[in-house]
């Protein structure tokens, strides 16, 4: 898989064996917009307030998904280790849908390769 303007390609078949490295590991923000929050709450059939209190925290004027802290990892609250999958896949945020093609990584391909085994040289 390629995307114009990016100096690398991506092999999504690597996701089956990588154990969600983009959904786990170091702590990081998983930003969600107000539309995405509504979509996630609808998917889980939760009132907005209940969803917000259970799954989000505020960073300045934005919201991020919470993490679950284990011994050696910060897992996204929606990452399911037993199935190696996302519990809200259909409504996952844009930040997740667009990984690994983020502008941030255009100049940081080595950093991306360390995180994602699906990255190939273009």
Can you tell me which of 55, 64, 88, 105 binds ligand SF4, judged by CB under 6 A?
A: 88
Q: Which is closer to ligand SF4, CB of 21 or CB of 38? A: 21
Angle of the 34-43 helix axis to the 48-55 helix axis, nearest 10: 100
Q: Please give the size of the binding site for ligand SF4, defined by CB under 6 A.
A: 22
Question: Taking CB under 6 A as the criterion, which residues in 42-61 touch ligand SF4?
Answer: none
Quick one: which of 61, 62, 52, 51 has its CA closest to 29?
62
Terminal Cα-to-Cα distance of the chain (whole angstroms): 10
How far apart are the C-alpha atoms of 88 and 5, rounded to whole Å? 29
Can you tell me which of 37, 55, 67, 118 binds ligand SF4, judged by CB under 6 A?
A: 118
**CA 82 and chain centroid, separation:** 17
**20 interacts with ligand SF4 by CB under 6 A:** yes
**79 interacts with ligand SF4 by CB under 6 A:** yes
We find the least distance from the C-beta atom of residue 81 to ligand SF4, in angstroms, to be 10
Contact 85, 92 (CB under 8 A): no
Contact 11, 118 (CB under 8 A): yes
Question: Taking CB under 6 A as the criterion, which residues in 94-113 touch ligand SF4?
Answer: 96, 99-100
The number of residues in the chain equals: 122
Which positions touch ligand SF4 (CB under 6 A)?
Answer: 14-15, 18, 20-23, 30, 65, 76, 78-79, 86, 88, 92, 96, 99-100, 115-118
């Amino acid at each position: 898989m390629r995307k114009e303007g990016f100096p690398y390609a991506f092999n999504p078949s690597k996701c089956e064996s990588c154990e969600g490295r983009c959904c786990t590991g170091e702590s990081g923000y998983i930003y969600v917009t107000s539309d995405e929050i509504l979509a996630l709450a609808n998917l889980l059939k939760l009132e907005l307030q209940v969803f917000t209190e259970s799954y989000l925290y505020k960073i300045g004027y934005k919201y991020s998904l919470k993490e679950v802290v284990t011994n050696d990892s910060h897992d996204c609250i929606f990452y399911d280790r037993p199935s190696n999958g996302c519990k809200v896949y259909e409504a996952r945020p844009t930040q997740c849908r667009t990984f690994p093609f983020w502008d941030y990584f255009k100049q940081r391909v080595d950093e991306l390769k360390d995180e994602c085994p699906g990255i190939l040289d273009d």
